[in-house]
A = this chain, B = another copy of it.
Amino acid sequence: MPSPTTAPTVLSYAYFGPEGTFSEAALRTVVPDAVALAQSSVDATIDAVRTGAVDIGCVPIENSVEGGVPATLDGLAVGDPLVVVAEVVIPVTFVLAARPGVRLADVTRVSTHSHAYAQVRRWLHASLPGVAYVPATSTAASAQALAGEQAGGEPAGFEGAICAPFAAARFGLDVLAEQIEDRAGAQTRFVLLARPGSAATPPPTGADKTSLVVFLREERPGALVEALEQFVTRGINLTRIESRPSGDALGRYCFSIDCDGHVADARVGEALMGLHRVCERVRFVGSYPRADAGHTILGSGPTEQAFVDAQQWLDRIRGGGAV
């Protein structure tokens, strides 16, 4: 009988559904067989974590073509704090799927999520000129609707679903065309979110990333520069910066920022303290291993060892020792 103290914690999961979304695919790369609940929206997925309904939620945060996912960025910026505990990058490729027997020439209306639509516009224009676009709440929803019609449910209202290959497979659809994305090599980045209390921040691995939301103190020419200088002067590379409206008025923003390094690193800790001092508010949104497991690219700034040396030097000075 296993000891209670060594029993592995079974975590519960949610993702931005329905079944067959890229979000589910991203989550499956981390926990292939876990029980995971499909949620109807990014907001609902985030809420499921906040309320404690699940331990971990998986949502998209950034796409290499369309940019940041507003619902995720805003969900992390306001409300009870959440932290990112892992990131997953998924290559994005789309197929045009249809009910068995439907041919390409039969497709006059296609449906998919607006982000996916944006990524196949040119292909559609060239291959299906004049095709109508029916918005869907997700790429998987369009596939699911065709499957429902196939099963005798109500008409989907379109013939073609633009979705992930595995969604076509899961819902028993034919693939009329594959790799239809306008830019090969597109990627979407997903994050796994947890409550700060429920899961420890992953320890430093040497190739980490830290996420923040920064609210500037005042609207003036130098406020953003003053904040970014906190990274520059410490040689910390920014890997993402997204402005997001604060919602108060046009022209008021907060900034969602990812930087290289872990909150436990001296340089990152010092930069965070610097931001805390010069900004209206800073929200820490987690430190976690980089998906690419790459080496942290330092700027021309000092090395981590230089930070350690500087602290030791200061300690000696303060102790009255050699200078």
- Which residues on A are within 8 Å of B, measured CB to CB? 43, 62-68, 70-71, 81, 83, 89, 114, 118, 121, 133, 135-137, 157, 183, 185, 187, 189, 196-197, 200-201, 219-222, 224-226, 228-233, 235-245, 247-253, 263-264, 269-270, 272-274, 276-278, 283-285, 299-302, 306-307, 309-311, 313-314, 317-318, 320-323
User: Interface residues of A: mostly helix, strand, loop or mixed?
Assistant: mixed
Question: In the complex the two chains form, is B137's CB within 8 Å of A323's CB?
Answer: no
Q: Which of A63, A220, A230 has the most CB of B within 10 A?
A: A220
Residue of B nearest to A301 (CB): B221
A71 touching B233, Cβ below 8 Å: no
- Selected from B70, B187, B242, B284, the residue in CB contact (under 8 A) with A323 is B284
- Tell which of A83, A236, A238 has the most Cβ of chain B within 10 Å: A238
Q: B114 to A135, Cβ gap below 8 A?
A: yes
Shortest Cβ distance from A199 into chain B, in angstroms? 9
Other 13 A-B pairs with CB < 8 A, given A71-B118, A233-B278, A272-B313: A64-B249, A65-B245, A66-B70, A67-B243, A220-B237, A220-B300, A241-B253, A243-B243, A273-B307, A276-B314, A277-B307, A277-B310, A283-B323
Decide: A306 and B277 in contact? CB cutoff 8 A: yes
Name A83's closest neighbour in chain B (CB-CB).
Answer: B323
Contact A314 B272 (CB under 8 A): yes
Asked if B247 contacts A320 (CB within 8 A), the reply is: no
Docked-complex contact A233 and B229, CB < 8 angstroms: yes
Q: Which of chain B's residues have a CB closer than 8 A to the CB of A320?
A: 196-197, 200-201
Q: Which 10 A-B pairs have the closest CB atoms?
A: A135-B135, A221-B299, A277-B302, A273-B310, A276-B310, A284-B323, A81-B323, A277-B306, A222-B232, A64-B250
Please name all residues of chain B whose beta carbon is closer than 8 Å to the beta carbon of A68 when the two chains form the complex: 243
